[in-house]
Amino acid sequence: MKHPSEEHDLVRWIDGEMNEAERATFEERFKHEPALATEARTMRAMSASLRAHLPAEMRVPHADYFNTQIEVRITQIALDEARAKQGGTGWSAALQWLRQPWFALAGTAALAVVGFVLLYPDTNGASESVILSSFAPNTHVQARTYHDSGAEATVLMLDGLDAVPAERKVSGINIQRSEVEPELASTTMFNGQGTAVLMISRDALGNHLISPH
Amino acid sequence: MPASASTDPGEVSDLDLVKRSQTGDTRAFDVLVTRYRGRIYAMTYHLIQNETEAWDLAQEAFIKAWRALPTFKHDAGFYTWLYRIAHNVSYDWLRKKKIQGDGEFDDERTEHRIAAGAEAAPRGDLAPDTALRNAELGQRIQEAIAKLSPEHRQVIVLREVEGLAYEEIAALIPCSLGTVMSRLFYARKKLQEQLHDVYETSL
């Protein structure tokens, strides 16, 4: 076990951090302390070897992918920050309800109804209506339907679903799925005149994009 | 602290790229990533001794740098600042591994290692036996470094690879100057024990 100052002297000698006088004094000890001389020279040779064999720069594996991944992540950060800044104000805030879980359920259920109405138009005023299929991620939501002869319309009841805000006059919905990525879809909502009032889609990162047009 | 990479006369300066990045220009930041990824990756690789983890941590360092860009004051070089981030990211990872109990730095953790120097700039045409000896020695050095504790590995990388002064190492870690020198001494001592057959026969 060496005294700390001896350790430090040895380190400084190896690294060439001693001035001329210090170095001469330290090396003078080598004559009487062969073990120290061997240790010092071995460590210095090893240190030089480390410097020669440990590159300060290396080729990054899959370098292009490395950059791309960083770009994807900082784009995600930028989008998240933009959302956070816009939260609670303006058009985006007005559409916050679109991001609520019930909206996804409503969209899904509405799809089932749209399919039903398109496939089985109620041209004869039939009193029987049947849900052909439906899917809701929330198992507490149950869809049922009946024909209201007074309104001359098929009524869809979604039990267990939050109420859709009354001021939203969405009369129709259309979902188009990507042929390449089935998980990617754009959803367009129409008013009673068949004019698109909202479109929700996803960008390449899977983030929602909402357009008023 | 580590100096910036040498740039060609016509190359856009770090300062310009950083300023553009601070306005949200991701293409400018991409140039900085390309410019420094090799050095940052080398540092994380030497500290972590695992190709995959080093790759991830180098990326993490750039992401953190991007997020922290608004606070970058231009009073230090960009690379020095980035290097500090990368070092902290890597060392935090090492400490967590140590706390989790899987921080024994043995050969198994370096199964994906590459020979030291293998990816460095070409060194010219070496005779086959010389090249082989170099490769073997590089391998031995990597194995020995992988067995060091995080603290010892850290000072070795900072001193021998990056060429930092003792004071710079103390500021970066951070710890006292005496601690840096003691760690350097014991790190070298341990390396010497593992590599004694290489050096003692050559003296």
The enclosing domain of B104 has a CATH number of 1.10.1740.10
Q: Is the pLDDT of residue A100 over 70?
A: no
Q: Are A30 and A40 in contact (CB under 8 A)?
A: yes
Please check whether residues B79 and B105 belong to one and the same domain. yes
pLDDT score for B199: 74
Q: Which residue of A has its CA nearest to B2?
A: A56
* Whole-model pTM over 0.90: no
Burial class for B168, CB neighbours closer than 10 Å (0-12, 13-18, 19+): middle
**Separation of alpha carbons A141 and A136, rounded Å:** 7
pLDDT score for A166: 58
- Pick the last residue of a domain from B89, B113, B137: B113
- Containing structural domain, residue A178: 169-213
Average of pLDDT values for B71-91? 89
Q: How far is A41 from chain B (nearest CA, A)?
A: 8
Contact A8 B39 (CB under 8 A): no
pLDDT score for A128: 55
Please check whether residues B133 and B80 belong to one and the same domain. no
List B residues 74-113 in contact with A (Cβ-Cβ < 8 A). none
Please check whether residues A158 and A205 belong to one and the same domain. no
pLDDT score for A159: 73
**Separation of alpha carbons B69 and B19, rounded Å:** 9
For residue B81, tell me if it sits in a domain: yes
Residue B110 pLDDT grade (very low, low, confident, very high; cuts 50, 70, 90): very low
Q: Is the pLDDT of residue A113 over 80?
A: no
Closest CA to B77 of B27, B121, B36, B120: B36
Q: Is the pLDDT of residue B93 over 70?
A: yes
Average of pLDDT values for A115-137? 49
Please check whether residues A176 and A155 belong to one and the same domain. no
- Containing structural domain, residue B32: 1-113
**Separation of alpha carbons B148 and B146, rounded Å:** 6
pLDDT score for B131: 62
Please check whether residues B14 and B98 belong to one and the same domain. yes
Please check whether residues A113 and A153 belong to one and the same domain. yes
Q: How far is A14 from chain B (nearest CA, A)?
A: 10
Q: Is the pLDDT of residue A126 over 90?
A: no
Answer whether A59 touches B (CB < 8 Å). Answer: yes
**Which residues of chain B neighbour A75 with C-beta distances below 8 Å?**
26
List the structure tokens of B72. 């970058």
For residue B119, tell me if it sits in a domain: no
Number of domains chain A contains: 4
For residue B82, tell me if it sits in a domain: yes
Contact B195 A46 (CB under 8 A): yes
Please check whether residues B93 and B31 belong to one and the same domain. yes
pLDDT score for B14: 92
Cα separation values, B73 from B27, B64, B69, B78, B194, Å:
20, 16, 9, 9, 44
What confidence tens digit (pLDDT) does each residue in A31-73 have? 999 999 999 999 999 999 898 888 999 999 999 899 988 988 8
pLDDT score for A36: 92
